[in-house]
Amino acid sequence: MLSIFRKATNYSAQLVVIVGLIKPLIELITEVNEAYDKRKIGEQKKEDVMALLKTILEQTNELSPVDLPTATILQAADKLIDVLVTILKSAGVIEN
């Protein structure tokens, strides 16, 4: 029973991280998209968003008494960026 509770707690924590990433990632994606000309390909833009997010997390960890799980957040963000870009393109918020 305790094993099930631990798994549920772990999944809940991961879900909180993913949901918490949505708004900041949308902001980073739109900012990076606007900052570069349309010739820059999507994969390069994604790398830039990931680099910015990593820098933000590292600086936050330096200033915060709570150590954020940077690797977990970056792993979730990597997949979430692809989903958000698809949604933003479909909604006409970003191009290319």
Tens-place pLDDT, residues 32-85:
888 886 667 888 889 999 999 999 888 888 887 777 788 888 888 899 999 999
In a domain, 95, yes or no: no
In a domain, 30, yes or no: yes
**Is 21 in contact with 45 (CB distance < 8 Å)?**
no
In a domain, 96, yes or no: no
Enter the tokens of residue 31.
Answer: 């900012």
Name the residue range of residue 52's domain: 2-90
- The length of the chain in residues reads 96
What's the pLDDT band for 21 if we cut at 50, 70, 90?
A: confident
Calpha distance 52→21 (Å, rounded): 13
Q: What is the mean pLDDT of residues 83-92?
A: 91
In a domain, 20, yes or no: yes
The number of domains in the chain is 1
In a domain, 28, yes or no: yes
**Residue 18 CB burial class (10 angstroms; 0-12, 13-18, ≥19):** middle
